[in-house]
Amino acid sequence: MSVARTVLLKVSDNQWLRANGTKLPFVRRAVATFMPGEAFDDMVVAARATAAQGIQAVFTRLGENVTDLAEADAVARHYLDGIDRIRALNLACEPSIKLTQLGLDIDRELAFGHLRELAGRAHAAGSYLWVDMEQSPYVDVTLDLTRRLRQECPSVGVCLQAYLFRTREDLEDMTSRGIGVRLVKGAYNEPAEVAFPKKSDVDANYLALAQVMLGAGARAAGSRAAFGTHDLDLIAAIRRHAESVGVAAAEYEFHMLYGIQKAAQARLARDGAALRVLIAYGEYWFPWYMRRLAERPANVWFVVKSLFG
Ligand SMILES: Cc1cc2nc3c(=O)[nH]c(=O)nc-3n(C[C@H](O)[C@H](O)[C@H](O)COP(=O)(O)OP(=O)(O)OC[C@H]3O[C@@H](n4cnc5c(N)ncnc54)[C@H](O)[C@@H]3O)c2cc1C
């Protein structure tokens, strides 16, 4: 892992900066590349614009590691209201949530109660609920709660991270239960005991896992296959593999983040790929933004330029 990535991921965990980083005007200017704004309505404007390009959306209100029950309740209400508003607007835009935002660190059952309510509301709206994946100590609980949820609600998917050694086993378990998977490389600072330290190994594992997702077993179980990546070589390899095994472009999808690889997003949509962009909004964006910088340390240059206006 590069030194710059390690430093940026450590900064993302700094409690003082988490609380105060968003107040720095030059950081606020720079984040606009990845976030249309802090309000739900800003997200809706962006989702409408991408819909006009044939690209659907996923929405997420930024926040994690909530330590106050009332705040977790408010987050759940926000998403319930968001699902209703999206339905009323007839927008193809699915919610994606972090369990620690629903109070997982305080009370697991309370977080599950919120999760179940959100999944039920999304399902009734003809939508789907995506569960994000956080740092490795949260993987077991995230998968346990997703398995429980799947027994009650069919429209649920979870994010899995190709950098973790354990993911192949988790992927086989999730897909065999018909749980959707959004495969990503992984955004956190993980130790070498649990994750591949070398990027080339992560990339190779991603492609191998993608092949499992497009395999007969996962497809027969009805698991939705979403590839969350901006890696254009990987995307091309996945499309080639899908074609070689007779999986049509409409049967799997790519998910990218708002503002990243915009030209490639438009090209893929024109080319018939099923594509969604994840649009993040909200006030608590500092750790999330630091992870975006860590993914491409060259982005720090944009922050520096913003410092000078
Ligand atoms: C829809 C979606 C949901 C995600 N959800 C989660 C989650 O729940 N848990 C989790 O751990 N991670 C999540 N991630 C983040 C993911 O783990 C990676 O950190 C991130 O996608 C970067 O990896 P990459 O696959 O794009 O490949 P990389 O090899 O990192 O990047 C490929 C190319 O894409 C471009 N690129 C990538 N990132 C950036 C960036 N930030 N700014 C500018 N250009 C960039 C660069 O040109 C780079 O060369 C999510 C990603 C996406 C797209």
Reply yes or no on whether the pLDDT at 309 is more than 60: no
For the entire predicted model, the pTM comes to 0.94
CA of 24 to the centre of ligand 1 (A): 24
The amino acid at residue 70 is A
CA of 295 to the centre of ligand 1 (A): 6
Which residue is closest in CA terms to ligand 1's atom 35? Answer: 230
| CA distance between the termini of the chain | 31
CA of 69 to the centre of ligand 1 (A): 31
Residue 157 and residue 129 in contact, taking contact as beta carbons nearer than 8 Å:
yes
The pLDDT score that the predictor gives to residue 135 is: 96
The pLDDT score that the predictor gives to residue 193 is: 97
167: three-class secondary structure by DSSP: helix
Which range, of 29-43, 103-117, 120-134, 221-235, averages the lowest pLDDT?
A: 29-43
Q: Is 57 in the pocket of ligand 1 (CB under 6 A)?
A: no
The pLDDT score that the predictor gives to residue 302 is: 65
The pLDDT score that the predictor gives to residue 56 is: 98
Q: Which of 132, 203, 224, 239 is catalytic?
A: 132
Helices (H), 53-158: 69-89, 108-124, 139-152
The pLDDT score that the predictor gives to residue 49 is: 95
The pLDDT score that the predictor gives to residue 296 is: 79
Q: Which two tokens stand for residue 130?
A: 């995506």
CA of 77 to the centre of ligand 1 (A): 28
Please give the residue that has the higher pLDDT: either 38 or 85.
Answer: 85
Q: What pLDDT band is residue 306 in, cutting at 50, 70 and 90?
A: low
The pLDDT score that the predictor gives to residue 143 is: 98
Q: What pLDDT band is residue 268 in, cutting at 50, 70 and 90?
A: very high
Q: What pLDDT band is residue 305 in, cutting at 50, 70 and 90?
A: low
Q: Which of 61, 121, 150, 182 is catalytic?
A: 182
Q: Is 5 in the pocket of ligand 1 (CB under 6 A)?
A: no
Reply yes or no on whether the pLDDT at 17 is more than 80: no
Determine the average pLDDT of the residues in 83-102: 97
275: three-class secondary structure by DSSP: strand
Q: Average pLDDT, whole number, for the chain?
A: 93
Reply yes or no on whether the pLDDT at 132 is more than 60: yes
Q: Check if 182 is active-site.
A: yes
The pLDDT score that the predictor gives to residue 283 is: 86
Q: What pLDDT band is residue 79 in, cutting at 50, 70 and 90?
A: very high
Q: What pLDDT band is residue 308 in, cutting at 50, 70 and 90?
A: low
187 to each of 63, 161, 209, how far by Cα in Å? 15, 8, 17
Q: Is 64 in the pocket of ligand 1 (CB under 6 A)?
A: no
CA distance 268 to 123: 28
The pLDDT score that the predictor gives to residue 12 is: 80
Determine the average pLDDT of the residues in 178-205: 96
Percent of the chain, pLDDT > 90?
A: 79
Q: Is 239 in the pocket of ligand 1 (CB under 6 A)?
A: no
Q: Is 161 in the pocket of ligand 1 (CB under 6 A)?
A: yes
CB atoms within 10 A of CB 259: 18
50 to each of 42, 57, 110, 229, 246, how far by Cα in Å? 13, 8, 35, 17, 29
The pLDDT score that the predictor gives to residue 31 is: 79
Closest CA to 127 of 171, 157, 70, 83: 83
Element (H, E) at 254: strand 253-257
Determine the average pLDDT of the residues in 148-164: 97
Q: Is 157 in the pocket of ligand 1 (CB under 6 A)?
A: no
The pLDDT score that the predictor gives to residue 7 is: 81
Q: Check if 132 is active-site.
A: yes
CA distance 301 to 307: 10
Which range, of 7-11, 130-134, 239-243, 274-278, averages the lowest pLDDT?
A: 7-11
CA of 292 to the centre of ligand 1 (A): 7
The pLDDT score that the predictor gives to residue 68 is: 93
Please give the residue that has the higher pLDDT: either 9 or 168.
Answer: 168
Beta-sheet pairing, 56-61 with 93-97: parallel
Residue 117 and residue 76 in contact, taking contact as beta carbons nearer than 8 Å:
yes
